[in-house]
Amino acid sequence: MSLVLYADETGTHYKEGRATDAPVMGIAGYIASPNDWAKLDVEWRKVLDEYGVDRFHFSELGSLSRSKPGTLYYGWSDQRAGEFLDKLAMLAGTIPRFGFAALVSVTDYEKILPQFHKDLYVHPYFFCLHLFLNMVLDGMETGYVPPGKQYSLCLDDSPQFKERAPRVWDWIKHEFDVDDRMGARPTFENSRSCRPLQCADLLIYRMRQKLDNHLNRDKRGPTKFDITKLDEQLGAKGKLLVKSYAGKHLKALVQRHLDEVRRDRLALLQHP
């Protein structure tokens, strides 16, 4: 039986030259068997019903949003919101097999990436999608996902990215998927009704919070992210692989790619 990876994104409202509007771009999600996703769907729905709502959307759970009449969680106390989040996070961190997240500082993306890279990716979303898909393949090779399993991908139904995302998938599959782990082209669903995508929304929003905090921290402080109770619930200690790129780490990533391009060109010139 093939596995299914549900992934959601953050930072999609980015406009070129306006990184402050969306300082972090990222994609994250969980992989599981169809049977496990069916189990999560049932258990997730039970929690939604218990709290009298029809969906989960992390960005609307903040105190400012909860204070506005007509919003999804209007009038909820911090305690109620926290208990709701805890129950969903426990489901996210226990039922799926594994989680992945790839994020980038958009400010550094604008500063560091050569123009031909930006032209290639068009939008930092597709840069993150490239990183994310490679990370999943690497995770499969290192044993995070059982050998011999193919996986399919389901993304949020965003008109802005729906046309180009399958082309990025095709490219990664052609260039890097030597063991044929990537299955059919991505499908798309609406996260308002797709509970596995709501699970992915929980993960990407939390990972974005952590990178936001890291980028805004006192620069003299430690660079290691603290693991909180919520992070543990989401699988941070053994079931979650996260890669965040900013500053020198993004520079190193770009330099590795440039070095690979130079080696490829040199090999072509030396080929008889």
What is d(CA 204, CA 10) in angstroms, rounded to the nearest whole number? 7
Predicted confidence at residue 149, as pLDDT, reads 81
- Residue pair 211/11 in contact (Cβ under 8 Å)? The answer is no
Predicted confidence at residue 128, as pLDDT, reads 93
Predicted confidence at residue 226, as pLDDT, reads 66
Long-range contacts of 115-123 (CB under 8 A, 24+ apart): 117/254, 117/257, 122/164, 123/14, 123/160, 123/161
Predicted confidence at residue 261, as pLDDT, reads 57
Domain 3-247 has CATH 3.30.300.30: no
What is d(CA 45, CA 55) in angstroms, rounded to the nearest whole number? 8
Predicted confidence at residue 155, as pLDDT, reads 97
Splitting the chain (272 residues) into consecutive groups of 10 residues, what average pLDDT does each group show?
91 66 88 96 97 94 91 94 95 94 91 87 91 90 75 92 93 91 94 96 92 67 62 88 89 81 49 44
What is d(CA 271, CA 98) in angstroms, rounded to the nearest whole number? 42
Predicted confidence at residue 271, as pLDDT, reads 45
> 3-state DSSP: the chain helix, strand, coil percent, rounded to 5?
50, 15, 35
Q: Does this model's pTM top 0.85?
A: yes
Predicted confidence at residue 268, as pLDDT, reads 41
Choose among 88, 87, 86, 51: nearest CA to 72.
51
**Domains in the chain: boundaries:** 3-247
Chain segment 155-191, per-residue pLDDT in tens: 999 888 999 999 999 999 998 998 899 999 999 999 9
Predicted confidence at residue 216, as pLDDT, reads 74
Predicted confidence at residue 223, as pLDDT, reads 42
